[in-house]
Structure 1
Amino acid sequence: MKLGLLFPGQGSQFIGMGKDFYENSELAREMFEIASEAIKIDFKKLMFEENDDINKTEYTQPAILLYSAIAYKLFEQNKNFTYNFSLGHSLGEFSALYSAGAMELADAIRLVHERGKLMNLAFKDKVGSMMVVLGLDDNIVEEVCKDSNLKVWPANYNSDGQIVIAGIRDDLVKLEPVLKEKGAKRVMLLNMSVASHCPLLESAVKPLKELLDEYLKDEFKNVVSNVTAKAYNTKKEALELLPIQLTKPVLYKQSIKNYENEADFFIEFGGKVLMGINRKITKKKTYPVTDMASLEKVINL
């Protein structure tokens, strides 16, 4: 049985994430301790109690990675399996790298915490955001962005008829009526202040590369790049691809289409977002691991 491992990105966070794992697994509790020590923050409070930090990108990113990492490790602990690739959506590519053995947990937590801070810094003098567009072909959205002369770009190719664009918030608002006039079924501005996967994050590319050079191991299992929709497995390749992932669109649907024949089904660790998107891309099933009950179901497949 061939598995495809999936890891969700930012936006999948919620209060209570990982709590069932924490309460029922010694391994999960150990991983919480490692993460908390890595960046000197109490992840139990961050993830289990109402707070504002959970939606701040420098904390959201390590929280999601920790949740996904625990889900994966508990699966690995209880199931003998092999896989040809792991694939993450945006931030999820870093969770995929952890699963592939590219980093230790503490280093992965530190890395995405710093990545979040670098992304915030890039927007200290401007307000960015992202916007979901439903019901239009990719080429139409691309043309609208290009012809607008505004600071807006395609950012996430999620599925046919679902694309996310990123840019300056006011420019995105100006584009709403244009996209609806072109036939978009829905245009929804997201509650974000950072525009991911567009040229506005160029200032974060070099410092992220320096961090990656410090934390990455030389070789690891196959991870599918958001930038190329192709697998890589060396530090050299990662140092070329992961920094520019900040400024390039996420080729998620292209990645699934490229690798669906190498998996009998997919498992999403720490979320259900990609499971929903996958229904529009592939006939292969996606099973989520979000708590002990869903873990048990997937183990027994």
Structure 2
Amino acid sequence: MKRTAFVFPGQGSQEVGMGKEMYEAYPSVKRLFDEADKALGFSLTTLMFEGPAEELTKTENAQPALLLNSVAINQVLKEQGVTPSMTAGHSLGEYSALVASGSLDPLEAVKLVHLRGKLMEEAYPTGKGTMAAVLGLNQENIEDVIKDFDGELAVDLANINCPGQIVISGTKQGVEEASDKLNEAGAKRVIPLNVSGPFHSRLMKPASADFSDHLSKTEVRDAEVPVYANVTASPVIEAETIEKLLVEQLYSPVRFQQILEAFVEEDVDAIIEVGHGKVLSGLVRKVKRRMKTFNVQNPETLQDFIQWYKEDS
């Protein structure tokens, strides 16, 4: 049997129309979407298929939409006899990975990330925090530049995505001043991101306390398949540890490059991006150019992957 790692996209990959082809092609996907609408008390499905894009992009909507889409596709893969050897997700995508690994119930996860999105939006005043992608500098260089940024200029590492692509997060003024210094330090570019808050920074700690209370009321089970956590880039199975790391994830950097390097060390046959877009597949290629990757987001790409998976196995 082929060894695969499933990775699940995070916020920013949403797009109006995502999931519609799978919804129309597979009864189990339609059933899950309909159940999610009931669980949330509004039609997330309509928002995903028809927009408007501005509404879908709101954190409290984008997060459950992306998760629902990913876990529905994963469900079809499971029906086709495909089980990953390990999973991971980028930020929000970690919740999809936990569903795929049997740690979270799909509908409980949809409700949980809807709430998570609201708490993240409310954690810091709108427009006062931001993020920026730093291209062409390594982690040590960036840490050296931002180490003294504190208080009203607080800036932290947020996403360590791949060699030469790291995201910083913090107060708007702090990120702007840090961007200037990072350009002076030799960054190829520093690109402001269109986000509503300083995610994965110390400024998210107020949200983590409220989120922890709600998470404690959600059933989190031991994972059946190892999930590589964003906070540690290490595999985790125990429910208690999963809960602890999900709370820390809100204000800690996403160590996605290290997760992908760990998958390469585990000698998987392919890394499969399960969900909308190809962002993570692109990161895989920057970590290990020759790693076989698939993006499964519609019936056509699903069948392409299934064909490969069942060859000689």
Name the TM-score class by shorter chain.
over 0.9
Counterpart contact for 1:229–1:251, Cα < 8 Å: yes
Counterpart contact for 1:216–1:235, Cα < 8 Å: no
More moved, 153-162 vs 213-222: 213-222
Q: Give the Å deviation of 1:12.
A: 0.6
Equivalent position of 2:163 in the other structure: 160
SS of equivalent residue, structure 1 residue 259: helix
Alpha-carbon distance between aligned partners in 2 of 1:95 and 1:229, rounded to the nearest angstrom: 16
Equivalent position of 2:269 in the other structure: 264
Q: Give the Å deviation of 1:125.
A: 6.5
SS of equivalent residue, structure 2 residue 272: strand
Alpha-carbon distance between aligned partners in 1 of 2:264 and 2:236, rounded to the nearest angstrom: 17
Equivalent position of 2:67 in the other structure: 65
Equivalent position of 2:87 in the other structure: 86
Equivalent position of 1:41 in the other structure: 42
Equivalent position of 1:294 in the other structure: 301
Equivalent position of 1:234 in the other structure: 238
Q: In the alignment, residue 297 of structure 1 is paired with which amino acid?
A: D
Q: In the alignment, residue 253 of structure 2 is paired with which amino acid?
A: P
Alpha-carbon distance between aligned partners in 2 of 1:35 and 1:28, rounded to the nearest angstrom: 11
Equivalent position of 1:95 in the other structure: 96
Q: Give the Å deviation of 1:177.
A: 2.0
Alpha-carbon distance between aligned partners in 2 of 1:211 and 1:293, rounded to the nearest angstrom: 38
Alpha-carbon distance between aligned partners in 2 of 1:230 and 1:197, rounded to the nearest angstrom: 18
Alpha-carbon distance between aligned partners in 1 of 2:148 and 2:248, rounded to the nearest angstrom: 24
SS of equivalent residue, structure 2 residue 146: helix
Q: In the alignment, residue 246 of structure 2 is paired with which amino acid?
A: L
| 1:223 and 2:224 matched | no
Match of 2:281 among 272, 275, 300: 275
Alpha-carbon distance between aligned partners in 2 of 1:126 and 1:26, rounded to the nearest angstrom: 42
Counterpart contact for 2:102–2:223, Cα < 8 Å: yes
Alpha-carbon distance between aligned partners in 2 of 1:101 and 1:19, rounded to the nearest angstrom: 25
Equivalent position of 2:311 in the other structure: none
TM-score by length of 1: 0.96
Q: Give the Å deviation of 1:214.
A: 1.9
Q: In the alignment, residue 295 of structure 1 is paired with which amino acid?
A: L
Alpha-carbon distance between aligned partners in 2 of 1:110 and 1:82, rounded to the nearest angstrom: 25
Match of 1:199 among 191, 202, 215: 202
Alpha-carbon distance between aligned partners in 2 of 1:35 and 1:239, rounded to the nearest angstrom: 22
| 1:210 and 2:213 matched | yes
Q: Once the two structures are superposed, what CA deviation does each residue of 1:175-214 show, in whole Å capped at 9, x if it has no partner?
A: 2221111111111101111111110010111222222222
Q: Once the two structures are superposed, what CA deviation does each residue of 1:134-193 show, in whole Å capped at 9, x if it has no partner?
A: 011111111111134421111000011100000112221222221111111111101111
Q: In the alignment, residue 274 of structure 2 is paired with which amino acid?
A: F
Q: May I ask how many residue pairs the two structures share in their alignment?
A: 300
List alignment gaps of at least 5 residues for structure 1: none
Alpha-carbon distance between aligned partners in 1 of 2:83 and 2:99, rounded to the nearest angstrom: 16
Q: In the alignment, residue 57 of structure 1 is paired with which amino acid?
A: T
SS of equivalent residue, structure 2 residue 161: strand
- Quick one: structure 1 residues 82 and 21, their matched pair in 2 at CA, closer, same or farther if it must change by over 3 Å? closer
Q: Percent identity?
A: 38
TM-score by length of 2: 0.92
Q: In the alignment, residue 180 of structure 2 is paired with which amino acid?
A: P
Q: Once the two structures are superposed, what CA deviation does each residue of 1:29-66 show, in whole Å capped at 9, x if it has no partner?
A: 11111111111121222111131221110111000001
List alignment gaps of at least 5 residues for structure 2: 309-313
Equivalent position of 1:54 in the other structure: 56
